[in-house]
């Protein structure tokens, strides 16, 4: 109400001012051009200009109304086309989420062909086609997306790699991701896909090279990344310790080179050390394996490593036994250490000491391998009854881990 009152007051003020101005002077306007001549008062001329302006406004409004009505009636108008694209997009995205691949493909392809920003629709249509097994059509949709939106090459490439992984085309996916990695070396999601593919392919060497970037970009939570790092380097060392091609000497050289690339913080990790020692033993470098295990156990005692220590053949069996006995004072209840001491005593032909260590290990923990070692020793010493009893006991322990029979 206040606004309406202000408008009325303003209109009355303007009308009053115009009335006063007209009463003061009518004015005079003369326009001539060649034979044309126009004469009128100033206020009449001003009224004609206002009338022409109002007529132009009215004509513009009528034309806009006619255009709007034509758009509402014409099914091929821009307004209707935009509505069809919007409907196709909405239905296609819902069907994609619901797993209705055939319907989603049709609607999203329609939306992509008519939308000015077709990227999301092309990517969704490519996924739907891939789920239907129409791989060629899926790739074609991605190519068209690249043509329409070349600036989205990274997004399209990531989608392509994901679809290739879903098809089991791991070599093609690696080529796609490596190409993207060369151009975008620090992209977090790209690094995550490379990590997943490396694990899938068990390409531990590639994963090890990727780990520093994964940590720097915080692609994974720190605990998961630590676990992955241990897994990757352990598997990489194990792979290097296998004689796949070439000679054992070449494999040993590769294993040592791989060990030199292990980050310093992981060289005391029991899983990694054990993998390296196992590789050395497998390739005939038993003495080197003993040195590696001894150095690791001096830094940090670990049951898994001490068990391996009892298996390897060092240069001096007596000295190796002395090293192991030196750890017994701090770890008298370690079943693994007592088992290792029994094995090392056997190697030094100390049968009584070996028997004592095996029996002490069994008192701490009943293990099948300890039962087998002691049974074998007792059979050699002539105690067949106790030996057979231990063999049966060891088999019973193994039987606990066997699947149940019907």
* Rounded mean pLDDT, 305-318: 94
Co-location of 291 and 344 in the same domain? no
- Confidence band for 73, pLDDT divided at 50, 70 and 90: very low
* Rounded mean pLDDT, 260-282: 93
What percent of the chain has pLDDT above 90?
62
Query: What is the reported pLDDT for 140?
Result: 95
Query: What is the reported pLDDT for 18?
Result: 64
Give exposure, 65-82, as e/b (b: 16+ Cβ within 10 Å): eeeeeeeeeeeeeeeeee
Name the residue among 258, 295, 300 with its Cα closest to residue 275: 258
Most confident of 9-18, 73-82, 195-204: 195-204
Give the predicted TM-score (pTM) of the model: 0.71
Looking at per-residue confidence, does 198 or 115 come out higher?
198
Looking at per-residue confidence, does 114 or 185 come out higher?
185
Domain end (from 148, 163, 179): 148
- Does 234 reside within a domain? no
Evaluate if residue 405 carries a pLDDT over 80.
Answer: no
- Confidence band for 76, pLDDT divided at 50, 70 and 90: very low
Looking at per-residue confidence, does 245 or 258 come out higher?
258
Q: Where are the alpha helices (DSSP H) in 151-269?
A: 153-167, 170-183, 188-201, 204-216, 222-240, 248-261
Q: How confident is the model over 146-181, as pLDDT tens digits?
A: 999 999 999 999 999 999 999 999 999 999 999 999
Give exposure, 117-153, as e/b (b: 16+ Cβ within 10 Å): ebbbbbbbbbbbbbbeebeebbbebbebbbebeeebe
Q: How many domains does the chain have?
A: 3
Name the residue among 351, 340, 404 with its Cα closest to residue 378: 351
Query: What is the reported pLDDT for 102?
Result: 94
Domain end (from 99, 132, 148): 148
Domain end (from 94, 129, 148): 148
Query: What is the reported pLDDT for 316?
Result: 94
pLDDT mean across residues, the chain: 86
Q: How confident is the model over 326-384, as pLDDT tens digits?
A: 999 999 999 999 999 999 999 999 999 999 999 999 999 989 998 898 899 988 988 88
Kindly report the CATH number assigned to the domain that includes residue 326. Answer: 1.25.40.10
Co-location of 351 and 298 in the same domain? no
- 278, two tokens: 């196992």
- Confidence band for 403, pLDDT divided at 50, 70 and 90: low
- Does 278 reside within a domain? yes
Co-location of 329 and 307 in the same domain? no
Alpha-carbon span 22 to 2, nearest angstrom: 30
Domain of 349, in residue numbers: 316-398
Co-location of 306 and 344 in the same domain? no
Q: How confident is the model over 8-58, as pLDDT tens digits?
A: 777 677 767 666 666 666 676 667 777 777 777 766 777 778 788 888 888
């Amino acid at each position: 109400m206040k606004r309406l009152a202000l408008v009325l007051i303003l209109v009355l003020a303007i009308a009053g001012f115009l009335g006063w101005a007209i009463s003061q002077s009518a004015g005079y306007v003369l326009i001539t051009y060649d034979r044309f001549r126009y004469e009128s008062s100033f206020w009449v001329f001003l009224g004609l200009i206002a009338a022409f302006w109002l007529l132009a406004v009215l004509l513009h409004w009528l034309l806009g109304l006619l255009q709007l009505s034509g758009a509402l009636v014409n099914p091929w108008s821009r307004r209707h086309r935009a509505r069809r694209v919007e409907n196709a997009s909405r239905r296609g995205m819902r069907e994609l989420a619901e797993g209705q691949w055939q319907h989603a493909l049709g609607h999203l392809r329609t939306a992509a062909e008519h939308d000015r920003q077709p990227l999301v629709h092309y990517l969704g249509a490519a996924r739907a086609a891939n789920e239907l097994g129409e791989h060629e059509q899926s790739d074609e949709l991605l190519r068209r997306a690249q043509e329409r939106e070349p600036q989205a090459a990274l997004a399209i490439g990531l989608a392509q790699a994901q679809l290739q992984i879903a098809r089991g085309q791991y070599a093609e996916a690696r080529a796609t991701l490596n190409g993207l990695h060369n151009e975008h070396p620090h992209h977090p999601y790209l690094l995550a896909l490379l990590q997943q593919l490396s694990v899938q392919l068990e390409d531990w060497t590639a994963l090890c090279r990727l780990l520093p970037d994964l940590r720097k970009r915080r692609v994974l939570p720190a605990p998961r990344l630590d676990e992955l790092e241990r897994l990757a380097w352990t598997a990489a060392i194990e792979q290097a310790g296998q004689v796949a091609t070439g000679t054992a000497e070449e494999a040993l050289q590769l294993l040592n080179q791989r060990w030199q690339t292990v980050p310093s913080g992981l060289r005391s990790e029991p899983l990694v050390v054990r993998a390296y020692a196992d590789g050395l033993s497998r390739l005939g470098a038993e003495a080197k394996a003993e040195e590696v295990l001894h150095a690791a156990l001096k830094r940090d005692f670990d049951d898994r490593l001490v068990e391996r220590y009892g298996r390897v053949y060092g240069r001096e069996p007596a000295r190796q036994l002395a090293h192991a006995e030196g750890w017994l004072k701090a770890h008298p209840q370690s079943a693994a250490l007592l088992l290792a001491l029994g094995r090392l005593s056997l190697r030094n032909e100390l049968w009584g000491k070996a028997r004592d260590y095996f029996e002490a290990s069994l008192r701490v923990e009943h293990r099948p391998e300890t039962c087998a070692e002691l049974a074998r020793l007792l059979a050699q010493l002539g105690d067949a009854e106790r030996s057979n009893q231990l063999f049966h006991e060891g088999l019973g322990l193994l039987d606990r881990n066997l699947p149940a029979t019907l």
